[in-house]
Amino acid sequence: MRGLSAASVRRWSFVHKWTSLVATAFLLMLCLTGLPLVFHQEIDDWLDPRPELAAVAPDTGAPTLDAIVAETLAKYPGDVMVSLGFVSDRPAVLAQSAPTVRTPFKDSHQTTFDLRTGALSDQRAQTRGAFTDFIRSLHTDMFAGLYGSLFLGAMALTFIASLVSGLVVYAPFMRRLPFGALRRERSRPLYWLDLHNLVGAAIAVWMLVVGATGAVNTLHDIVAAKVRAEIFQMSKRHGGATPASLSSVDRAIATARTALPGGKLVSFFFPGAGFSTPHHYAVFARGDRPITAKLFYVALIDAETGELSDVLDMPWYAKALLLSQPLHFGDYGGLPLKIIWALLDVLAIVVLVSGLYLWLRKHRLRADHVIGIDERRGATAAS
């Protein structure tokens, strides 16, 4: 930046000013709503605590999934199995059955079983409460669906332009002042300018990461539709008639575990339901390492023979989305990282508020100056 001309600095300053002004109001909303979302799990557990796991005798035998399926169908005569959903942080499985595999979820029967004992259970996956659900909707799409998400994505890109231009503009000042200098002895606006520049430069990398991952996250619905289409295309390559009889669910899952990386089970779809084909089971799993724990893997299992038919590795754009979601909220390293993310979020609010204060003060001083000139002209004309 040493060779940056005065004209270039003015152009970059123009970009920084207007990109900041365009995005500031929405960025403030995103920062304020992002704070509680960083701790959404803790908030939901506090507002709606889940029951504690009951103790189980050491010699208790774990049930097979085939036994759980049989008990589900005995509980609801006339139903067929639709899916099994594995609770991520509890030893429990949600068995879904219905009159047909295409029955809407709200009209189906859901029964939760303890995977340690096979008994009916009240254990459930952690769900968003009303408060965090409201905040998340405001944060992700402002209650405007896909159009709201895409608009916020545009604001995220505008924010990135503001950050880059701000760093370019700040670089020449770093040669004239020691880094971190806060000129308190001068005027208040100058102190706020130094504070704005210092905090902005200090957390610029973090803001770029959060801005970029936020922009990626706004494409969730588009990416989900594309991945769904790819899974259906994979399913079409392995069509087939409805099986005369279904093979063991436990055997199908054992086959999927050997084919999928890590293989932490997420869900299991029966033939004709969800992402499966009329002839296949579809097994969804996550990896078992920190980086792969956020990614999905899919295996199609022949429902008649229990043999592996195909495996789908998520495309690169789906991986980018799945990895950006936890990074955006600091959801990789437990509570310590969340606290750091929250503190950085507060500093980002300081940058936004100080920038808005400086612009408003400059705008007001300019308006006062223009009014003063008009008053002097008026007085001169009157005399």
pLDDT digits (tens, 9 = 90+) for 257-306: 988 876 789 999 999 887 788 889 999 998 777 667 778 888 999 999 99
Structure tokens belonging to residue 218: 């706004």
For the entire predicted model, the pTM comes to: 0.78
Residues 319 and 249 in one domain: yes
Beta carbons of 327 and 338 less than 8 angstroms apart: no
pLDDT category of residue 71 using cuts at 50, 70 and 90: very high
pLDDT category of residue 380 using cuts at 50, 70 and 90: very low
Residues ≥6 apart with Cβ < 8 Å to 34: 139, 329, 345
* 157 belongs to a structural domain: yes
Residues 266 and 292 in one domain: yes
Q: Which residue has the higher pLDDT, 10 or 290?
A: 10
Q: What is the predicted pLDDT for the residue at 108?
A: 93
Residues 211 and 251 in one domain: no
Averaged pLDDT, 338-367? 83
Residues 179 and 258 in one domain: no
Residues 196 and 312 in one domain: no
Of 309, 328, 347, which residue constitutes the final position of a domain?
A: 328
* 339 belongs to a structural domain: yes
Tell me the three state secondary structure of residue 340.
helix
Q: What is the predicted pLDDT for the residue at 370?
A: 38
Residues 143 and 292 in one domain: no
* 323 belongs to a structural domain: yes
* 57 belongs to a structural domain: no
- Structural domain boundaries, residue 279: 219-328
Q: Which of 66, 113, 56, 64 is nearest to 87 (CA)?
A: 113
pLDDT digits (tens, 9 = 90+) for 214-267: 999 999 989 988 887 887 787 777 767 788 899 999 999 999 998 887 678 999
Residues 212 and 225 in one domain: no
Residues 256 and 314 in one domain: yes
Residues 171 and 295 in one domain: no
Residues 301 and 227 in one domain: yes
Residues 169 and 274 in one domain: no
Residues 27 and 149 in one domain: yes
* 122 belongs to a structural domain: no
Torsion region of 13: left, alpha or beta (phi above 0 gives left; psi -120 to 50 gives alpha): alpha
Q: What is the predicted pLDDT for the residue at 94?
A: 93
Of 328, 343, 361, which residue constitutes the final position of a domain?
A: 328
pLDDT category of residue 47 using cuts at 50, 70 and 90: confident
* 184 belongs to a structural domain: yes
* 51 belongs to a structural domain: no
Q: What is the predicted pLDDT for the residue at 179?
A: 63
How many domains would you assign to the chain? 2
Beta carbons of 280 and 303 less than 8 angstroms apart: yes
* 96 belongs to a structural domain: no
